[in-house]
Structure 1
Amino acid sequence: MNAVVQCLSNTDLLAEFLALGRYRAAPGRAEVTEQLAALVRALWTREYTPQLSAEFKNAVSKYGSQFQGNSQHDALEFLLWLLDRVHEDLEGSSRGPVSEKLPPEANKTSENCLSPSAQLPLGQSFVQSHFQAQYRSSLTCPHCLKQSNTFDPFLCVSLPIPLRQTRFLSVTLVFPSKSQRFLRVGLAVPILSTVAVLRRMVAEEGGVPADEVILVELYPSGFQRSFFDEEDLNTIAEGDNVYAFQVPPSPSQGTLSAHPLGLSVSPRLAAREGQRFSLSLHSESKVLILFCNLVGSGQQASRFGPPFLIREDRAVSWVQLQQSILSKVRHLMKSEAPVQNLGSLFSIRVVGLSVACSYLSPKDSRPLCHWAVDRALHLRRPGGPPHVKLAVEWDSSVKERLFGSLQEERAQDADSVWQQQQAHQQHSCTLDECFQFYTKEEQLAQDDAWKCPHCQVLQQGMVKLSLWTLPDILIIHLKRFCQVGERRNKLSTLVKFPLSGLNMAPHVAQRSSSPEAGLGPWPSWKQPGCLPTSYPLDFLYDLYAVCNHHGNLQGGHYTAKSVTAE
């Protein structure tokens, strides 16, 4: 609501109209417009108080039941509702001349292009006079080439964004060895997909079966979520630290190198790393454990050293579990640090549960049989082997004595990281390209076949949408939310546009008469400066306000930005 009001208050025509009281409100039903006018007036006279926003919100809730309460709403939905409400409140108060409506037959399909004099009038209210225009939908018969047109009004042009097929994502591959090696690779992942696709791509990079890959996210505070196949890939942002582990071999199997049981790293990674991912058999008595070392406890702990993946028997004692962990981190310790008879060196917490009930007990004869481990293993979804994530928490003094100033692991970047970053940074589109996509001619689907009034048979005609007239105030909406199947996603494509002199001439339908006919003069409230003489003034626009959405489909925030061209 605040972002929309900021944009409207910077709309010179509307702000002057409301703040100076140049409207004639319909008696008894203009409460929303009156409160909006009071709010705009206060913003421009620096007399604003929060009470004015509260009174405006109350008026909105009174006449728009969908906006009652404090739930989140779409800014465009609210903007169009508000303009429509102002139109209803002020209908008949337009300063322009009253125009007659088109006869009923003018709204029906007609051959070829209608003359400009037959276009639908903009109406009588202030909103219709300055915000509303018309678009034309043309349907051409592929057989007789006859064209039929329908005309509809609009307050906003909702532009689709040319869909980018892929986006950049980096994943750190963990190579199992005594000292563990890390290689960050860059991937071009599909823009609309699931984690299952990412898992297959990572498996291909590492040369291992996809069902042996565990995908997890690491924060400076340790392990966070594990990723499962049916999750939307857009839940993973470009900057998230995603690690890919391959299940280690069981002790009885050893390292298997024969094909197909042992699959080597892809050639380009093998040349760099000289490492192998190895396949192993799963035993129900064993449990896969991902653990990382932290200094401190709970949510305040910070990670040091690399993460590890081990396979352990669930029947082990606390001492055996501690020795297993120590054997993995021994190479990180100071050479003089003793590792025998040190008692209970650290605490172990199961990640993903509340801190209060997730610690394993040193007094438990079989700590890995803890109910928290059971829950982590069984509350899983398809995608990767079952595993449990543990946080090994060290006291700061013990950590300093044994590990010194050891920091997090260093991951080497493969060439693909830079290559994919560059490839995706260069992807963008222009506002003109969005308009071209919007007005692109398309063929009707077979289910939408149209009966040509001349051929009298069903035809899959060509339909084209174009702007017929232009308003004084042009509202453009970028459709960043798209839906494919049951999934909805937010597009992050960069859209480039001019701050001044946006030429809309290429996107207005061609007419049989001169292009200036019927479009009206340039508004007197804002005369442009130096402009190309080849462009009619009616087609040129300056940007003055932007309403931005931050976040995703689950939630977000709106901000408004005032734009001035330098």
Structure 2
Amino acid sequence: MVLGWVLGKNPFIRARPARALQNIVSKHSSQFRGNAQHDALEFLLWLLDRMHEDLGAASPAQQSRGPTQPGKDGSSGASRSPPGTQHPRGQSFVQSHFQAQYRSSLTCPHCLKQSNTFDPFLCISLPIPLRQTRALNVTLVLQCERWRFVRVGLAVPLLGTVADLREMVARHGRVPAEQVILAEVSPRGLLRSLSDPEALRAAGEAAPVYAFQPPPARRAGCPRSLPTSPAVPRPEGPRLLPSAARSSDCLHRAPGGRILLLLCNTAGTGLQLSRFGPPLVLREERGVSWEQLQQNILAQLRGVLRGEVRPQGSGALFRIRLAGGSAPCTYLSPQDPRPLCHPAIDRALQLCGAGGPPHVRLTAEWDTSTKERLFGSIQEEVVQDAESVRQQQQAHGQQHSCTLDECFQLYTKEEQLAPDDAWRCPHCKVPQQGTVKLSLWTLPDILIIHLKRFRQVAEQRHKLTTLVRFPLRGLDMAPHVAQRGQPGGQLLGRWAPWQPPLCLPPGCPRDHLYDLYAVCNHHGSMQGGHYTAFCCNALDGRWYSYDDSRVEGVREAEVSTRSAYILFYQRRRAAGSGTGHWVFRLAAAEPRADP
């Protein structure tokens, strides 16, 4: 209101208000010079601080009061009344209308004594509750027939780890968590396995997630009568050469040892490379020969083999490549009598992350003509969707929203100190993991609420578009104001509840009801954006939209949007009306033109 009065006194400013305002601001603060974008809250707090300096004495930030000593009744004692209950001389316009105090209470869990700190605020920055889960589809390939190639929908925690996902899959499929292998499987083959320490936020973004369960440790013998077909050409890339000494050494180190293989079949080359048939999980002897390994793979694929065609002849039907190895193309050699005993297999096992059984990821590369002759035009496996897929998509597909009251509840939520931040209780004389709780001690006439839409986690920054539903009339702040004078030792009983809060004259009843009169909106992202505003005209009670020089009326239902950034509330009893409104005083101060 003061800024509007100042700008309205100058005819040049009234003609070009935006440019004039920018010139005035940049004259007094170099940080706002030029055409760079700035945060609206940053500018607002700077403006209030400069107005306070020009119209008052000390800066509001210098009015902070340190922590008090705990009283005998468990509450904080003080030698004088708290700052919010007095009206010091020389109080500036900003202090009188915008400033109030909040209380930070630190409670000892052992003696329940309380230490309180009071600090002033011009604006309340409220956190926005985040959605705690997201929908993630996982294709189950378990030994139970019910959960073979069934896609289920899970609500996974946003800040969870792969270990959490492994536990959820285990509970869903009723299998031990240590038996679950999690991997990302793309249309081109196996991408990577997921280990427990990994953050869950990236799981499933590169490719669908599959959950495999290994076969039992002892299985019936696989058929060994499957004939083979003529050999396919050897791979042109680097391969592992046979080594009898190496194979003998492997057998000597782990006689009868078994290894888990996760294998996908692909056909084609380059951009035409594609996966076909179901992913396989095999448990093989380390000393198995190439021919026996090939027969075991074919036995797993017998359900998709063309009925009228059987492989004939001898030789390698496909090439086997280590997926995700350090080398770009690491192939097992058909000439190696013990291909699974190569040191590259050992290295792959060592690289397996924590969680789930150790395994090696392999890709069987088929020649296109051989694949067509044996399997026809078969593509990927057929996966059925469980009802949970639709349910989770529906639950998480709706845009997240919350209420302003939920933001206040999160702001005033009690939190326990971390062990590294333990507080030395003056009464117990030992470090304690106390609980901290914020509450509002007094309320201002003009309540400014900042919604914290910009969030940074590690190196990632993003803007929250959550719809915060806020009331246009009758915002009741009573639940968020600290209660006084109640017994029990947890509240501040030294200061009488009859003392009036800041900004209210003595004898005026306490008023916690506020009405909205303006909203600052931010459109865009953290890299750049545009500000608009909604303001309520106190004369006609209508809402208007302000977008640069464009002003138009809006309905009340259009005021609450996902772009709301700063809310301006006015105490209902402090609001002017009729001819007493400041707009009339502004008009009365205008110089009259000579007749």
Question: What range is the shorter-chain TM-score in?
Answer: 0.5 to 0.7
Aligned to 1:544: 521
For the residue of structure 1 that corresponds to 2:332, the secondary structure is coil
Residue among 477, 489, 501 paired with 2:452:
477
For the residue of structure 1 that corresponds to 2:171, the secondary structure is helix
Matched, 1:136 2:99: no
Is the radius of gyration larger for structure 1 or structure 2?
2
For the residue of structure 1 that corresponds to 2:23, the secondary structure is coil
Q: Distance in 1 between matches of 2:270 and 2:199?
A: 29
* Letter aligned with residue 544 of structure 1: N
Residue among 191, 202, 210 paired with 2:169:
202
Q: Distance in 1 between matches of 2:158 and 2:35?
A: 45
Q: 1:401 Cα shift?
A: 3.5
Q: Distance in 2 between matches of 1:302 and 1:404?
A: 14
Q: 1:517 Cα shift?
A: 5.7
Aligned to 2:438: 464
Q: Distance in 2 between matches of 1:156 and 1:432?
A: 13
Q: 1:344 Cα shift?
A: 3.5
For the residue of structure 1 that corresponds to 2:18, the secondary structure is helix
Q: Distance in 1 between matches of 2:288 and 2:517?
A: 76
Aligned to 1:150: 118
- Taking the TM superposition and a 5 Å limit, the aligned residue runs for 1:183-222 are 183-190=150-157, 192-222=159-189
Aligned to 2:408: 435
For the residue of structure 1 that corresponds to 2:167, the secondary structure is helix
Preserved CA contact (<8 Å) 1:429 1:494: no
Preserved CA contact (<8 Å) 2:139 2:211: yes
Change (3 A) 1:212 1:506: same
Change (3 A) 1:477 1:220: same
Preserved CA contact (<8 Å) 2:475 2:513: no
For residues 260-293 of structure 1, the C-alpha deviation after alignment (integer angstroms, 9 at most, x for no partner) is: xxxxxxxxxxxxxxxxxxxxxx986222111112
Aligned to 2:468: 497
* Letter aligned with residue 330 of structure 1: R
Query: Mind listing any 5+ residue stretches in structure 1 that lack a counterpart?
Result: 1-14, 41-77, 256-281, 453-457, 519-533, 550-557
Preserved CA contact (<8 Å) 2:184 2:190: yes
Aligned to 1:33: 32
* Letter aligned with residue 21 of structure 1: N
Change (3 A) 1:343 1:541: farther
For the residue of structure 1 that corresponds to 2:183, the secondary structure is strand
For the residue of structure 2 that corresponds to 1:332, the secondary structure is coil
Preserved CA contact (<8 Å) 2:453 2:463: no
For the residue of structure 2 that corresponds to 1:373, the secondary structure is helix
* Letter aligned with residue 203 of structure 2: I
Aligned to 1:22: 24
Preserved CA contact (<8 Å) 2:184 2:193: yes
* Letter aligned with residue 157 of structure 1: S
* Letter aligned with residue 18 of structure 2: E
Q: Which moved more, 1:286-295 or 1:317-326?
A: 317-326
For residues 443-502 of structure 1, the C-alpha deviation after alignment (integer angstroms, 9 at most, x for no partner) is: 9999658779xxxxx9x898433384487985421486689xxxx999999832259959
Please, what is the CA RMSD of the aligned residues?
A: 5.4
Q: Distance in 1 between matches of 2:444 and 2:93?
A: 13
Aligned to 1:390: 362
Aligned to 2:192: 225
Change (3 A) 1:190 1:440: closer
Matched, 1:404 2:376: yes
Q: Distance in 2 between matches of 1:461 and 1:382?
A: 35
For residues 338-379 of structure 1, the C-alpha deviation after alignment (integer angstroms, 9 at most, x for no partner) is: 312274433322111256332223343333233432221122
For residues 296-338 of structure 1, the C-alpha deviation after alignment (integer angstroms, 9 at most, x for no partner) is: 2467622222111112233333333333222222321322333
Change (3 A) 1:284 1:147: same
TM-score, scaled relative to structure 2:
0.58
Q: 1:92 Cα shift?
A: 9.3
Change (3 A) 1:251 1:338: same
TM-score, scaled relative to structure 1:
0.60
Q: Distance in 2 between matches of 1:396 and 1:196?
A: 39
Q: 1:115 Cα shift?
A: 4.4
For the residue of structure 2 that corresponds to 1:375, the secondary structure is helix
Preserved CA contact (<8 Å) 2:105 2:436: yes
Preserved CA contact (<8 Å) 2:140 2:147: no
Preserved CA contact (<8 Å) 2:142 2:148: yes
- Taking the TM superposition and a 5 Å limit, the aligned residue runs for 1:310-325 are 310-325=282-297
Q: 1:409 Cα shift?
A: 1.6
Residue among 101, 107, 129 paired with 2:58:
101
Residue among 138, 142, 161 paired with 2:129:
161
Q: Distance in 1 between matches of 2:296 and 2:89?
A: 81
Change (3 A) 1:247 1:100: same
Q: Distance in 1 between matches of 2:353 and 2:446?
A: 52
Q: 1:433 Cα shift?
A: 0.8
Aligned to 1:375: 347
Matched, 1:333 2:330: no
Q: 1:99 Cα shift?
A: 1.1
Aligned to 1:269: none
* Letter aligned with residue 413 of structure 1: D
Aligned to 2:140: 173
Aligned to 2:477: 506
For the residue of structure 2 that corresponds to 1:349, the secondary structure is strand
Query: Mind listing any 5+ residue stretches in structure 2 that lack a counterpart?
Result: 1-16, 69-79, 223-253, 483-497, 506-511, 533-544, 546-553, 559-595
Q: 1:408 Cα shift?
A: 1.7
Change (3 A) 1:387 1:465: same
Residue among 387, 391, 401 paired with 1:415:
387
Q: Distance in 2 between matches of 1:17 and 1:440?
A: 43
Change (3 A) 1:543 1:207: same
Change (3 A) 1:378 1:304: same
* Letter aligned with residue 27 of structure 2: A
Q: Distance in 1 between matches of 2:56 and 2:292?
A: 89
Aligned to 2:323: 351
Q: 1:404 Cα shift?
A: 2.9
Q: Distance in 1 between matches of 2:160 and 2:345?
A: 31
For the residue of structure 2 that corresponds to 1:389, the secondary structure is strand
Preserved CA contact (<8 Å) 2:523 2:530: yes
Change (3 A) 1:221 1:562: farther
Aligned to 2:258: 286
Preserved CA contact (<8 Å) 2:415 2:437: yes
For the residue of structure 2 that corresponds to 1:356, the secondary structure is coil
Aligned to 1:267: none
Q: Distance in 2 between matches of 1:312 and 1:141?
A: 60
Preserved CA contact (<8 Å) 1:223 1:389: yes
Q: Which moved more, 1:470-479 or 1:228-237?
A: 470-479
Q: Distance in 2 between matches of 1:312 and 1:445?
A: 48
Q: Distance in 1 between matches of 2:296 and 2:214?
A: 17
Q: Distance in 1 between matches of 2:49 and 2:394?
A: 56
Aligned to 2:541: none
Q: Distance in 1 between matches of 2:467 and 2:41?
A: 28
Preserved CA contact (<8 Å) 2:136 2:155: yes
Residue among 67, 81, 86 paired with 1:111:
81
